[in-house]
Structure 1
């Protein structure tokens, strides 16, 4: 085995034999489109070669050139309000016709409305906002603010985490596929142990014991390293849905306050209702110093991200923190306002919780009947199934997971593979019980067809 070949991978393998078989089975028109794509785009892990060429995205579905529909439980985690959401499209088109661009040094009502809408959804209403063109840029901006207001450059993040693909973000990220052979990274980035009550160094299934272990190590870093300016993490890990107990967040917040470090929550893939609350941390009765948002913030139409910073840290007026061309993005702000309005009017948080209950019941039934499902983790509409060869040893079954992916795609269900063996579903918040039931049926059929 080559060095690092056995490392846990973040997503599915795009260059294996199953991908080759999938591509070989496509029609000539689709193959032509994929070859044209490969001719003009650089190749990169987990993105190429592409699966298929699509022509339409609507609601919960993608459609290819043959009009085949794929129930999309992947969506890059940005389709909370569904594809081609009418509220978002209408708002963006109207904004483009009235005021398409707001030059730096100017403001407009739509920008103020969008910032207020995000602040209004917080618990304390005690935040200020900056917009950025991407989630990666927002994470970088959060790190800069932490340095500026604390005077300390060191940051603790977690192994296995993903916070973006720029050089600063892979420095705080914890996945090898993003920093492989890229040389020295940002100094002062220190890794802690991620919460995982299924796989951990203690071999424990006790959420409280695992949480204490992770935080004990974090405190050890604080005590021995010194000069820590921030702790950065996802409250719920998006790709494999590990959910720490509430006590974890209470103690973490107290620790950051004691060592005068900012607590930064990256909710880029998980906010806007996917957890059943508008912001994920609201499930745990804590509030971060800095909140990072992205993906679904643009309503699945406009690339849009933001950071929310506690008002008391508005101390950076002497430095250009996020001197972006689209510092107050007109179309993005219109999309934010429309997406939030749609979530409110169509009660998507309530639907998320309701469908989450259905998903838990359906998943529990599968868990009882199929030993290849080692663990099920569901919170709202963040759903992960961890596939194993043996429940006692917990050996990852990456082969089965990949087979199930391609079987499901053939049957019209798209989702993400995480850590090689975790089937991860992020349905839109508009998903119906019938659509979820269909996905569970495809999943069960895939298990029966692919086990050997």
Structure 2
């Protein structure tokens, strides 16, 4: 099967020959029967059905499949900061289920107010207003509507290769072909610029800080008078692109200069992933709107939302969200417990320490293996870029997929992004010993697939 390059941007491919070989070699007949039934009933789509395996349990940092194998889950769809089956979060959810299992939309509850107050206390500056939604995608939609209401302008500027969700409005802002291609007309006014590292890809280190891409953004802002917002991921979690502080400080300055709101999508990266509660804290800036989700529900409940500057509370006469589960009592209890667990167990500090270990060990691994072209680390988020040639940066696409499946054989699960980036997203509860074990699996697999 001919797999297009754009199909590999967000994650690994579910229709490749390598996956089929791994399944035939390692999965029992019973497991394959369940996968075949899943394939029969669910609509097929990239990165989902047909599925990889059948999971029967998720606990701590581990997944367990139908055949009894356990895997350290360094993927987790970015929801598992506090680990699976976290008893603190589960107890809070059970208590809420007994007390108030559902909150009709016209009402509020103490737990919803407590979560909102906690987020406002944690967020910097005047990020003092929140709105909750059942998913990150819908939170992006709410942010876009609020931008239009607050500014009177409908255009947005985002970057190619970005991911902001899978709904029609979110893929209009997003920049990945696997979601956008052949979808027909998308939302008008969703302009795109190159991501910060694109000039570097073309011209080497001459644009080490992404300043040329911001020069282009300023060119756009000078000529587009009806731009309401710039929407960006402060760290691109898919293949772990980490702009320098100067990039976002200038971006904030440009938005202020041209009267444009800055919306930061931290759906997969907030809540401790990078060693800070919010990613933008690394850049010493305050966005106008920050979008959060995924890990907010503690790996138990779908929860997302926006935190906005107080001055943007201007939509009293319209419904920005109006979702049935907007202030879900159970979801708010899960989110509040998740944040409390992160704080009470020092997971921000732990993520910082593990980030130092990750960077040190991966840089040493890079020195030992020519196939590793780059490593990028921030907290407990890491990308290992595999190349066939460090000078040409030619992507080792087939080899990267083989490495992933070798690691699966050794009990480590992660995803491959952009075709050649091993993306590691360990739970924040992962110990140093477990992290070192995972890195040993990766290096062993690299040595097997790329013998020197």
Asked if TM exceeds 0.5, the reply is: yes
Three-state SS of the structure 1 residue aligned to 2:271 is coil
Q: Which residue pairs with 1:404 in the alignment? A: 403
Aligned 1:12-23 pairs, distance under 5 A: 12-23=12-23
CA distance 1:197–1:276, change in 2 (3 Å): farther
What is the alpha-carbon distance in structure 2 between the residues aligned to residue 326 and residue 257 of structure 1?
34
What is the alpha-carbon distance in structure 2 between the residues aligned to residue 401 and residue 126 of structure 1?
41
Q: Which residue pairs with 1:341 in the alignment? A: 340
What is the alpha-carbon distance in structure 2 between the residues aligned to residue 29 and residue 370 of structure 1?
39
Three-state SS of the structure 1 residue aligned to 2:389 is coil
Q: Which moved more, 1:64-73 or 1:5-14?
A: 5-14
For residues 2-47 of structure 1, give each alpha carbon's deviation from its aligned partner in whole angstroms, at most 9, with x where no partner exists.
Answer: 8x93447212121111111112121111111111111111110111
Aligned 1:157-196 pairs, distance under 5 A: 157-196=158-197
What is the alpha-carbon distance in structure 2 between the residues aligned to residue 399 and residue 204 of structure 1?
27
What is the alpha-carbon distance in structure 2 between the residues aligned to residue 441 and residue 358 of structure 1?
13
What is the alpha-carbon distance in structure 1 between the residues aligned to residue 313 and residue 152 of structure 2?
14
1:24 aligned to 2:24?
yes
For residues 305-349 of structure 1, give each alpha carbon's deviation from its aligned partner in whole angstroms, at most 9, with x where no partner exists.
Answer: 010110001000000111111121101100111001100110000
What is the alpha-carbon distance in structure 1 between the residues aligned to residue 359 and residue 326 of structure 2?
41
What is the alpha-carbon distance in structure 1 between the residues aligned to residue 198 and residue 188 of structure 2?
30
Q: Which residue pairs with 2:279 in the alignment? A: 280
Q: Which moved more, 1:118-127 or 1:352-361?
A: 118-127
What is the alpha-carbon distance in structure 2 between the residues aligned to residue 154 and residue 309 of structure 1?
19
What is the alpha-carbon distance in structure 2 between the residues aligned to residue 219 and residue 112 of structure 1?
40
Aligned 1:110-189 pairs, distance under 5 A: 110-124=111-125, 126-189=127-190
For residues 400-444 of structure 1, give each alpha carbon's deviation from its aligned partner in whole angstroms, at most 9, with x where no partner exists.
Answer: 100001111111100011100000001010011111111111111
What is the alpha-carbon distance in structure 2 between the residues aligned to residue 125 and residue 40 of structure 1?
48
Q: TM (normalized to structure 2)?
A: 0.97
Three-state SS of the structure 2 residue aligned to 1:204 is helix
1:447 aligned to 2:433?
no
Q: Which residue pairs with 2:238 in the alignment? A: 239
CA distance 1:144–1:368, change in 2 (3 Å): same
Return the offset for 1:263: 0.3
* Native 8 Å contact 1:197 1:204 kept in 2: no
* Native 8 Å contact 1:400 1:451 kept in 2: yes
Return the offset for 1:181: 1.2
What is the alpha-carbon distance in structure 2 between the residues aligned to residue 6 and residue 67 of structure 1?
34
What is the alpha-carbon distance in structure 1 between the residues aligned to residue 96 and residue 31 of structure 2?
35
Return the offset for 1:125: 5.2
Q: Which residue pairs with 2:385 in the alignment? A: 386
Three-state SS of the structure 1 residue aligned to 2:8 is coil
* Native 8 Å contact 1:197 1:205 kept in 2: no
Three-state SS of the structure 2 residue aligned to 1:80 is coil
CA distance 1:125–1:96, change in 2 (3 Å): farther
Q: Which residue pairs with 1:364 in the alignment? A: 363
* Native 8 Å contact 1:164 1:170 kept in 2: yes
Return the offset for 1:128: 0.4
For residues 45-99 of structure 1, give each alpha carbon's deviation from its aligned partner in whole angstroms, at most 9, with x where no partner exists.
Answer: 1112211101110010000122211000000011000001111100011101100
1:425 aligned to 2:405?
no
Q: Which residue pairs with 1:40 in the alignment? A: 41
* Native 8 Å contact 2:126 2:310 kept in 1: no
1:88 aligned to 2:84?
no
* Native 8 Å contact 1:207 1:244 kept in 2: no
Q: Which residue pairs with 1:9 in the alignment? A: 8
Q: TM (normalized to structure 1)?
A: 0.97
What is the alpha-carbon distance in structure 1 between the residues aligned to residue 196 and residue 430 of structure 2?
29
Superposition RMSD on alpha carbons, in Å?
1.5
* Native 8 Å contact 2:127 2:307 kept in 1: no
Return the offset for 1:199: 4.6
What is the alpha-carbon distance in structure 2 between the residues aligned to residue 281 and residue 334 of structure 1?
25
What is the alpha-carbon distance in structure 2 between the residues aligned to residue 449 and residue 81 of structure 1?
33
What is the alpha-carbon distance in structure 1 between the residues aligned to residue 349 and residue 71 of structure 2?
25
Return the offset for 1:119: 1.0
What is the alpha-carbon distance in structure 1 between the residues aligned to residue 198 and residue 260 of structure 2?
26
What is the alpha-carbon distance in structure 2 between the residues aligned to residue 228 and residue 391 of structure 1?
39
Q: Which residue pairs with 1:229 in the alignment? A: 228
Q: Which residue pairs with 1:268 in the alignment? A: 267
Q: How many residues align?
A: 449
